[in-house]
Structure 1
């Protein structure tokens, strides 16, 4: 049925009518109509049956109508309501259907368009599919190439990681926040943590506070200033070993130039430090060796020079005088060669110091010429000395160094001149200020000469001319090099002119200050002194004793340190001349002993030594009041005596009651024998030997750590190691090692840094000597008896 026909049916029309007039009105109307119909019906029925209608008939009809009408009305109302709802719903459905129909038409049209579009897109997709297949093939080839590259990259990455881990260097990476982002195997060993455990940690979470602050400070400098930084650190490994690293930190960027953090590379330089320390120790050992040689060679040499000089002043035949002069010149030559060796060592340690004093150039030249004349005469050469005036009377110069320079030049001239002559000319040009003069020393010879190719090389250390004419007279190769260094230090220069076969000329120009006051030889101001001469070489005793007695002094002699101490204990001396190198102890030991016993409160001690290695201040710091160098010169002796006693009235010598020398076991200086005996009684002989074995096993490790800590300037660790060594030594009675270690552990000592290196050297020497001595001694003892 068409929707319009449905809505125009009588039911829908009646429903609209009811809706229009209202349900209440129509309900009342319906009740009224029903009452009328009931009353009328009752009347018709009664009349039809021939009965007369009564009031009861009408009442019953009305009552029945009133009872049934509400229900009928309720049903009728609900029916109408539902009918109206159905109508409204139907209308909405119809409208919706109509809308759907129109929409369907539109969708159909759109579908047609979409189908056309789809067909078009299908064609395009077919073309695109062909293009994609082509691209996929190209991409597959590219992916395959990239895969091979990635595989290669992974291999390279693995190889790089293996190389980094195999590197002995410390390598790590920190991000912008200063946290660990990667490291190698050495860094893992250093921190005691794996790379995964280190990731995300800061230096303060890995290192101790002091090291963390230092690391963080340099890291911040790299990141803040965007620069590379190099620093040196002592790093502590988990096993307690310290290693010295040179760290290089650089900012790290990606390929786009964005900074990611910093890379750190650390090279373990501990072995280098040990090597440098070994070189330093070797240098010290060499210096000690030269000092020893200085004493051992100079001592007999001084005797030869002194006695030959004294013999020349006696009545001799011409032949004897020639012999003595040759001995004297030879001894002087040997002494100057040794001076070169000493100065070579000083140059290497940069300890050459010039000492300017007033000197007469004429007197100086005459003294030097007298010795060179002896050397020249010994070879049958003529020596000519010429002083060209005007010449300043006195100049300020280091006479010892100048003598050494001219001696080397003149000695070489004599050595390389087979015949003819050697000459020395001295001239001077006074400057405009009349305060300085350019002094020229002109040395010429008629010798073999120097090839032009070698002239620029002769001042090189250890260089020797490779020429047949020079083979007959070779030398050390250090004399000219030292001369050049000395002249340079005096602000002078050397010029060389030479021709092979005709000779050589050296022009030495040195600017010197003119001295206004001439040097006056001092006169001895005091005599009758009681002097103790402590010297172990009889030749030196003979020379020094003769010199002192000629100066009017009283001389007592001791040839050992022990003998000297006993003499000082029993006799009061006005002066002690103390040799440093004695057979039983050093002169410093003697001085320390008598000072500790308050035996020399008013007695000066003057070092008498051939050791020219040490400086004067070093002797003064060790209890000496002055120093006299060997060979002993009369002028120096007079100067020292005048300085010490020139303004004092001598006190009479006071004899002190002689003490009986006590018998002292020398082992008591190194060991506490009473303690060791008690220890043996307590734990047994074999246990003491076993304890000593443990000490010998552990002490190298202790000393290595102590040396490393000292090199790192870690005072706390040095003191800690010294305390450990002290405790170990005291536990077995090594008293000297204990005493030295106790000195080292006193880190609050005001001169600790000044003395600690010397103390450590003493400790090394004591360990090397005392441990083996204790071992030998303890094994020979029979404590059971």
Structure 2
């Protein structure tokens, strides 16, 4: 409530007093005061005038007071009311003004707050405007950069597309659903469809059904493993051209790691494939040529070596003995040169291998020295042979390869030495873990080798370019083969030389000390009835003389048919069978003899000049052993003793041999042994295994398609699928599978429908059985190797 301030007017204070005291009380008081004032005034006036106070004066005063007091009272009351009203109104005005002032203060504060807020908003809007301007500038720059990037991207995309289209490789990519999402020009040429036409198509819409299934299966594997995959396929172009492609398929992902599909690259390998086929054919032709040359050259060589060896054992003058010895040594030299050529072919095909046997180092060295001594004597040179003890008595070594190594180096030493001597020294280290380092040192006093040529003499076909070497010719392959043979035997070969003073070769070989006794060189069986099947008279004369000298009885057949007739008419203890006969092969003769049960207890040993094939190949074709031409007395004794002198060679063992022959015959029926062996020799066992693995993986799919087509009575598709199986089986040597598939593909056969279900069932069983036989044969090859 508003309190009166000290500055309020007296009227306001009086009105406040009247209101507080009460109007009635104040009126009575006012009347009383007025009467007192009037009476008192009349009295004072009379006194002052010196007149006597009269009662009338008081009565008059009272009457006047009573008459004037109500009006005065009314006026005063009205005045008070007006004042009070004015005061009240004033208070209301003041209160209203106060409220207005407070509102004004509030509004002022609110206005100031609004002004500050407005200023803040203005500032914010100003900053926002600046930010917008900056954003607009950044946006303009970004748009400009983006435009430049888009332009750059368009240029790069155009360049990339040009590169992809210009690429000779086949390129296409497919989405997760397996539908084409893009390709290059080569893919368009292959499919005969533009990229727009390919979009959304599947492999089944574009490729042949079989090829589409094969690719889909490979794609499935890529998607399962999220790893790339490479395979080789024959693809058919829209113009019916077939090309051989190496296809690589990889999954591709976006920046977040989500897989988008598959990307395929295909490189046209047709020319390479044709070159590989041509190289394989050339290698096969070369091998066949060398095999033929082997037979043709070793035939007369066999006669020269055999006859000269027999002549040396007759009564000759010293001069005649020297002549015959020269013939013998020359024939041996020719044989070793030819061995180099054969080994060169084997090295090219990675088929050179070691055959370890127990060898006496002393006997081996003395035997080799005796032949080299003949060559040295022809040039009036001295051969000095030194054997330094202690030397292991017996070691495990491939004597043929070691002889070839030493022979090549000793022969060169003799060839390039015109006077002085050639020396051969052999020594050995103390054994460690039954391994002794045997060292052969060959020195000569010949023309020597220039220092600049020393690091080249082991290169293939290399010959020293020096005047002192022009008088002696050679093939340039001997030392190269020696080095490779030494490395094959885990050894080392070193050479040092000085022009005009001579050359020194040092060969170190780690050889296993033999724990087995050396094979007996003395023939332990005589009086054998032997059928010698040989078509060349010179070979017959040499072999017959050697066998009779060893105490055997020899009957001769010059043709395969004659051999069969004699085997039918007579009982022989042994058949020595030449492989190349005028009317048939030795294998054909052996097959006939086994079919007629003419050799149940009779071993058959192949006589062959073909050193290309392995011994196991002859064993697989029914032979019990093989003797290479020229026939060596030591080899004949070794084979005869192994077949007839050892206790374990009994009827039981021979029965096992029969089983082996029967097994060989069975294999020849279900497998194409010649093809398989040729493949192993030409492309290698690993590649053959890889081809067999591909056939094995694809065969279930082929058979499923074949059986589904047969169930649907789709004869053409059955024949087509059988044709594919036939080709695939033929490529891996499955002869029986190939024959059955060939029957199925002959849709024009009059009883085709009556037999085809049986044929398909037979094919299914043959695939399962023959694949096992093929795998076993491959495993035997690995063991034999």
Structure 1 counterpart of 2:391: 391
| Partner SS state of residue 430, structure 1 | coil
Deviation at 1:298, TM superposition (A): 0.9
| Partner SS state of residue 429, structure 2 | strand
Structure 1 counterpart of 2:562: 563
Structure 1 counterpart of 2:218: 214
- Whether the aligned pair in 2 keeps the contact of 1:234 and 1:242 (CA below 8 Å) is no
The C-alpha deviation readout for 1:478-503, integer Å capped at 9, x for no partner, is: 11111111111222111211111111
Q: Which has the higher mean CA deviation after the structures are superposed, 317-326 or 583-592?
A: 583-592
1:599 and 2:589 aligned: no
- Whether the aligned pair in 1 keeps the contact of 2:607 and 2:627 (CA below 8 Å) is yes
Check 1:304–1:204 CA distance in 2 against 1; reply closer, same or farther (3 A cut): same
Structure 2 counterpart of 1:294: 294
Check 1:564–1:755 CA distance in 2 against 1; reply closer, same or farther (3 A cut): farther
Structure 2 counterpart of 1:629: 628
- Whether the aligned pair in 1 keeps the contact of 2:740 and 2:763 (CA below 8 Å) is no
1:513 and 2:512 aligned: yes
Deviation at 1:709, TM superposition (A): 4.6
Check 1:369–1:523 CA distance in 2 against 1; reply closer, same or farther (3 A cut): closer
Structure 1 counterpart of 2:553: 554
Mapping 1:427-446, distance limit 5 Å:
427-433=427-433, 435-446=434-445
Quick one: distance in 2 between partners of 1:194 and 1:578?
67
The C-alpha deviation readout for 1:746-769, integer Å capped at 9, x for no partner, is: 96274469779x9xxxxxxxxxxx
Check 1:560–1:171 CA distance in 2 against 1; reply closer, same or farther (3 A cut): same
Deviation at 1:405, TM superposition (A): 0.7
Structure 2 counterpart of 1:683: none
Q: Which has the higher mean CA deviation after the structures are superposed, 325-334 or 459-468?
A: 459-468
- Whether the aligned pair in 1 keeps the contact of 2:456 and 2:462 (CA below 8 Å) is yes
Deviation at 1:341, TM superposition (A): 0.9
- Whether the aligned pair in 2 keeps the contact of 1:705 and 1:721 (CA below 8 Å) is no
Structure 2 counterpart of 1:418: 418
The C-alpha deviation readout for 1:728-757, integer Å capped at 9, x for no partner, is: 9999xxxxxxxxxxx99996274469779x
Mapping 1:650-665, distance limit 5 Å:
none
Check 1:257–1:570 CA distance in 2 against 1; reply closer, same or farther (3 A cut): closer
- Whether the aligned pair in 1 keeps the contact of 2:223 and 2:251 (CA below 8 Å) is no
Structure 2 counterpart of 1:331: 331
Quick one: distance in 1 between partners of 2:292 and 2:346?
15
Quick one: distance in 2 between partners of 1:188 and 1:712?
32
- Whether the aligned pair in 2 keeps the contact of 1:709 and 1:718 (CA below 8 Å) is no
Structure 1 counterpart of 2:742: 723
Mapping 1:453-602, distance limit 5 Å:
453-516=452-515, 518-519=517-518, 521-602=520-601
Structure 1 counterpart of 2:341: 341
Quick one: distance in 1 between partners of 2:162 and 2:727?
31
Structure 2 counterpart of 1:613: 612
Q: Which segments of 5 or more consecutive residues in structure 2 lack a partner in the other structure? A: 1-135, 652-719, 751-761, 778-785
The C-alpha deviation readout for 1:687-729, integer Å capped at 9, x for no partner, is: xxxxxxxxxxxxxx99x98998579879899949962898599
| Partner SS state of residue 748, structure 1 | helix
Quick one: distance in 2 between partners of 1:159 and 1:449?
64
| Partner SS state of residue 417, structure 1 | coil
The C-alpha deviation readout for 1:180-237, integer Å capped at 9, x for no partner, is: 2012344346556553443234556656334312123224544xxxx6x240132553
Check 1:528–1:251 CA distance in 2 against 1; reply closer, same or farther (3 A cut): closer
Q: TM-score, normalising length from structure 2?
A: 0.62
Structure 2 counterpart of 1:48: none
- Whether the aligned pair in 2 keeps the contact of 1:241 and 1:705 (CA below 8 Å) is no
The C-alpha deviation readout for 1:119-139, integer Å capped at 9, x for no partner, is: xxxxxxxxxxxxxxxx9xxx9
Deviation at 1:357, TM superposition (A): 1.7
Structure 1 counterpart of 2:236: 237
The C-alpha deviation readout for 1:452-492, integer Å capped at 9, x for no partner, is: 22212211222222222222213111111111111112221
Check 1:711–1:561 CA distance in 2 against 1; reply closer, same or farther (3 A cut): closer
Check 1:545–1:751 CA distance in 2 against 1; reply closer, same or farther (3 A cut): farther
Quick one: distance in 1 between partners of 2:638 and 2:200?
75
Quick one: distance in 2 between partners of 1:312 and 1:213?
73
- State the Cα RMSD in Å: 4.3
| Partner SS state of residue 208, structure 1 | helix
Quick one: distance in 2 between partners of 1:602 and 1:262?
65
Check 1:527–1:257 CA distance in 2 against 1; reply closer, same or farther (3 A cut): closer
Structure 1 counterpart of 2:641: 642
| Partner SS state of residue 767, structure 2 | coil
- Whether the aligned pair in 1 keeps the contact of 2:295 and 2:609 (CA below 8 Å) is yes
Quick one: distance in 2 between partners of 1:729 and 1:551?
63
| Partner SS state of residue 441, structure 1 | strand
| Partner SS state of residue 562, structure 1 | helix
Structure 2 counterpart of 1:86: none
Check 1:644–1:252 CA distance in 2 against 1; reply closer, same or farther (3 A cut): closer
Quick one: distance in 2 between partners of 1:724 and 1:185?
42
Quick one: distance in 1 between partners of 2:193 and 2:730?
28
Q: Which has the higher mean CA deviation after the structures are superposed, 337-346 or 203-212?
A: 203-212
Check 1:444–1:187 CA distance in 2 against 1; reply closer, same or farther (3 A cut): same
- Whether the aligned pair in 1 keeps the contact of 2:520 and 2:638 (CA below 8 Å) is no
| Partner SS state of residue 306, structure 1 | helix
The C-alpha deviation readout for 1:275-298, integer Å capped at 9, x for no partner, is: 223222322221221111111111
- Whether the aligned pair in 2 keeps the contact of 1:706 and 1:717 (CA below 8 Å) is no
Quick one: distance in 2 between partners of 1:579 and 1:467?
46
Deviation at 1:429, TM superposition (A): 1.6
- Whether the aligned pair in 1 keeps the contact of 2:726 and 2:741 (CA below 8 Å) is no
Structure 2 counterpart of 1:181: 181
Quick one: distance in 2 between partners of 1:304 and 1:343?
22
Deviation at 1:515, TM superposition (A): 2.8
What is the aligned residue count? 555
Structure 2 counterpart of 1:63: none
1:277 and 2:277 aligned: yes
Quick one: distance in 2 between partners of 1:605 and 1:505?
46
Structure 1 counterpart of 2:199: 199
Deviation at 1:344, TM superposition (A): 1.2
Quick one: distance in 2 between partners of 1:368 and 1:283?
34
Quick one: distance in 2 between partners of 1:157 and 1:599?
80
Q: Which has the higher mean CA deviation after the structures are superposed, 377-386 or 332-341?
A: 377-386
Check 1:727–1:380 CA distance in 2 against 1; reply closer, same or farther (3 A cut): farther
Quick one: distance in 2 between partners of 1:549 and 1:374?
28
Quick one: distance in 1 between partners of 2:553 and 2:748?
47
- Whether the aligned pair in 1 keeps the contact of 2:530 and 2:552 (CA below 8 Å) is yes
- Whether the aligned pair in 1 keeps the contact of 2:726 and 2:738 (CA below 8 Å) is no
Structure 2 counterpart of 1:661: none
- Whether the aligned pair in 1 keeps the contact of 2:729 and 2:738 (CA below 8 Å) is no
Deviation at 1:639, TM superposition (A): 3.1
Q: Which has the higher mean CA deviation after the structures are superposed, 316-325 or 175-184?
A: 175-184
- Whether the aligned pair in 2 keeps the contact of 1:171 and 1:186 (CA below 8 Å) is yes
- Whether the aligned pair in 2 keeps the contact of 1:358 and 1:518 (CA below 8 Å) is yes
Residue of structure 2 aligned with 1:748, choices 753, 767, 771: 767
Q: Which runs of 4+ in 1 moved over 6 A?
A: 152-160, 238-242, 253-259, 704-708, 710-718, 728-731, 743-746, 753-756
Check 1:394–1:621 CA distance in 2 against 1; reply closer, same or farther (3 A cut): same
Structure 2 counterpart of 1:27: none
Quick one: distance in 2 between partners of 1:317 and 1:710?
66
